[in-house]
């Protein structure tokens, strides 16, 4: 097997490989990575080939860890790690990871870190990548829990699957005249998102407003969508920005609300309507994002997401010196 750095001429083959793969996501696509300014990360995207046939792609960058150079799955993406075909068995997965780690070692890099997608993102779920990384001496450096809704569990009456507290919140929102609609103007919701993250967590959104518009332009309008809860005065009380990750999973990358109107329960109705939309779109899973940070659980957020049938799935980061 040969490992080499991906170049501009590989872009179409790279994107096509991700689309046809077992576990590729929007975060593995060159179009997604394009939204980052060229000097933000030290890009070093890899492909593993056998006789010219692409066997895997591994988007990544070089990072400094305690004065050492490490190869990391892309720092500006939620998920990374090797993208592999559906047909690939354990032995070949092991050989792919042997080749990638060997490539890193040959260049004098001291370590590898990869955050791989949860199992629900796989066309055919398996733990071969985890196993191969473990055999290379990489261990779990972080195991976060992402709240995932299995949309196949719902019957015709979506609300019947929710806990009573979630249903009461939906009814209260409707009684208060709240409605949910799709809105393609990120600028209308962004102030709510920005204020909420600053007041509650002291942070800014991962993407600037301009980057959100750029992402939609790069990926296409159908892959980055926004839903908002509004009142009878058309004020935006809450919103969700959805990323089409792959044909199986849609991800609520941003969920936020205006604290002033929280008592009207706009988020409850927003969850309910987005769940129904995701079902109609044919997704198997809706990922509501993590309710842990550095393995510290936000139990209030956990309970709220669980009330809409979400359950935690591992989002694992492997790392180790090589």
* 186 alpha carbon, distance to own chain's centre: 19
Q: Tell me what pLDDT residue 202 has.
A: 86
Q: Tell me what pLDDT residue 258 has.
A: 95
Q: Tell me what pLDDT residue 210 has.
A: 96
Residues of the chain with pLDDT under 70: none
Q: Tell me what pLDDT residue 76 has.
A: 85
Please name the helix (run of DSSP H) or strand (run of DSSP E) that holds residue 291, with its range, or none. none
Q: In CATH terms, are 2-137 and 147-316 the same topology?
A: yes
Q: Tell me what pLDDT residue 38 has.
A: 83
Q: Say which residues have a Cβ less than 8 Å from residue 63's Cβ, sequence separation at least 6.
A: 42, 69, 70, 71, 72, 75, 113
Q: Tell me what pLDDT residue 246 has.
A: 97
Q: What is the pTM of this model?
A: 0.94
CATH assignment of 2-137?
A: 3.40.630.30
Q: Tell me what pLDDT residue 147 has.
A: 98
pLDDT per residue as tens digits for the range 47-64: 999 999 999 999 999 999
CATH assignment of 147-316?
A: 3.40.630.30
Nearest Cα to 77, choosing from 19, 111, 32, 17? 32
Q: Say which residues have a Cβ less than 8 Å from residue 117's Cβ, sequence separation at least 6.
A: 23, 25, 79, 81, 245, 315
- State the Cα–Cα distance between residues 46 and 32, nearest whole angstrom: 16
Beta-strand pair 60-65/53-58: unpaired
Sequence spans of domains, the chain: 2-137, 147-316
């Amino acid at each position: 097997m040969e490992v080499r750095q991906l170049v501009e001429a590989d872009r179409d083959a790279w994107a096509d490989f991700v689309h046809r793969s077992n576990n590729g996501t929007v975060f593995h696509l060159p179009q997604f990575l394009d939204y980052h300014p060229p000097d933000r990360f030290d890009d070093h995207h890899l492909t593993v080939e056998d006789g010219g046939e692409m066997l895997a792609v591994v988007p990544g960058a070089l990072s400094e860890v305690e004065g050492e150079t490490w190869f990391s799955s892309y720092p500006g993406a939620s998920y990374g790690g090797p993208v592999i075909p559906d047909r690939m068995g354990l032995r070949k997965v092991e050989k792919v990871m042997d080749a990638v780690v060997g490539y890193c070692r040959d260049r004098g890099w001291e370590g590898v870190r990869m955050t791989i997608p949860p199992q629900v993102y796989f066309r055919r779920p398996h733990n071969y990548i985890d196993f191969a990384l473990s055999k290379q001496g990489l261990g779990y450096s972080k195991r976060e829990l992402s709240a995932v809704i299995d949309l196949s569990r719902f019957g015709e009456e979506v609300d019947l699957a929710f806990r009573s507290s979630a249903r009461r919140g939906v009814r209260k929102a409707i009684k208060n005249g709240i409605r949910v609609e799709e809105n393609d103007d990120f600028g209308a919701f962004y102030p709510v998102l920005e204020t909420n993250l600053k007041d509650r967590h002291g942070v800014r959104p991962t993407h600037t407003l301009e980057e959100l518009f750029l992402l939609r332009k790069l990926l296409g309008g159908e892959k980055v969508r926004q839903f908002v809860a509004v009142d009878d005065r058309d004020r935006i009380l809450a919103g969700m920005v959805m990323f089409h990750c792959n044909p199986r999973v849609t991800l609520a990358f941003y969920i936020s609300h205006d604290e002033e109107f929280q008592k009207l329960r706009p988020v409850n109705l927003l969850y309910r309507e987005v769940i129904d939309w995701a079902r109609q779109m044919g997704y198997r899973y809706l990922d509501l994002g993590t309710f842990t940070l550095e393995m510290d659980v936000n139990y209030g957020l956990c309970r709220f997401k669980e009330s809409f049938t979400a359950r935690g799935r591992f989002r694992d980061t492997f790392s180790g010196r090589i």
